[in-house]
Structure 1
Amino acid sequence: MREYHVTARRVDSHGSEARTKEAVLVIDTDLKGRLDAFNPAELLLASVAACMLKGIERVTPMLDFQLRGIDISLRGMRQDSPPKMVSIAYEIIVDSDETDQRLDLLHKNVRKFGTISNTVADALELTGTLTRKISKA
C-alpha cells in the first residue's frame, strides 16, 4: 500500500496553506472567498483532474498513444442540506490524430485506473466524455 502525507495550517482569517514534499498550496478558507486560491470544492475538482492527467501520462507510453495536448474541464454540483458534492461532470479534450477507437481505449484506461477518480466515483456520480480537439482551420 502507498501512503501520502499532507499538512495544512491556518495562515489567517483569509486563508490557509497545505504542504507536501517541497510544495505549498494556498487554500481559500476565507468566509467571503478569495479569487487567488482554490476553495475546498475546487480542490476536489482539481484533484480529479490531476488524477486523470496523471493517468493519461502513465498510460500513453504503454499504449504508444500519440498526443499533443490535453484539456480537462470539470463541473461539480453541491447540495446545501446536508452540504456535500453530489456529482461531478468532466470533459477531457485530447489533441491527437489517434483513431476514435484509440480515444475510447484511452478513456477506459483513465476511468479504470484513476486512484482519485475511482474513490470519488464510489461517493458520487462521476460522468464525462473524452473527445478529440477540433482543429481550427
Structure 2
Amino acid sequence: MEYQISANSRANQDAELQIKEANINFGTTAGTANILPNPAELFLGAFSACMLKNVERFSKMMKFSYTKATVDVHTKRLENPPRLDHIHYDLKIYSTDKKLNLDLLQKNIEKHGTIYNTVKLSCTITGTIKKV
C-alpha cells in the first residue's frame, strides 16, 4: 500500500493540502495562527484519524456496535531540537454493547494502527479508552 498527497503555498499566504478529492487549508502565516491548523495540529489530526478508523475497523472484527467515538489528543512541543515529546489521548466510545472489550480494542489500536506505530518510534504515547 502506498500513499500520496500534494501541497502548495504562496509567499505571505497560507497553504493547502490536496488529498484525493479533499482540500485542507492550513496555516503558515502569523495572521491565521488562531484560525487554521498548523503542521503539528495536522499531525495530531492524522494520529486521531488513525485511531478513529481503527475503532470502525475493529468494531466489525470484534463484533461490537457503537454510535459515536471521540478522541482528544494532547502533546507538548519541546524547543531544542523542536519536536513533540509525549502524546496523550483520551478515546471515548459511545456504546451500550456488552461485547465491547475496551482492553482488547486498545491493544488492537496500539498494535495495528499505521500512524500510531510510526509515531511511537519517535515519542512516548499514553492514553485511555472509556465507554460512555
| TM-score (ref. length: structure 2) | 0.92
Displaced runs of 4 or more, over 4 A = none
CA distance in 2, matches of 1:78, 1:98: 38
Match of residue 108 from structure 2: 109
CA distance in 2, matches of 1:107, 1:96: 15
| TM-score (ref. length: structure 1) | 0.89
Letter in 1 for 2:70: D
Letter in 2 for 1:87: H
Structure 2 unaligned regions, length at least 5: none
Letter in 1 for 2:84: M
- 1:31 is displaced (CA, Å) by 3.5
Tell me if structure 1 keeps the 8 A contact 2:16–2:24. yes
Q: Deviations over 1:47-70 (max 9, x none)?
A: 100000011111111111111111
Q: Deviations over 1:9-29 (max 9, x none)?
A: 113423101112111110111
Match of residue 129 from structure 2: 130
Tell me if structure 2 keeps the 8 A contact 1:11–1:17. no
Tell me if structure 1 keeps the 8 A contact 2:26–2:37. yes
Identical aligned residues as a percent: 34
| 1:114 to 1:63, Cα distance in 2 relative to 1, 3 A | same
- 1:109 is displaced (CA, Å) by 1.0
| 1:121 to 1:39, Cα distance in 2 relative to 1, 3 A | same
Aligned residues: 132
Tell me if structure 1 keeps the 8 A contact 2:86–2:123. yes
Letter in 1 for 2:72: S
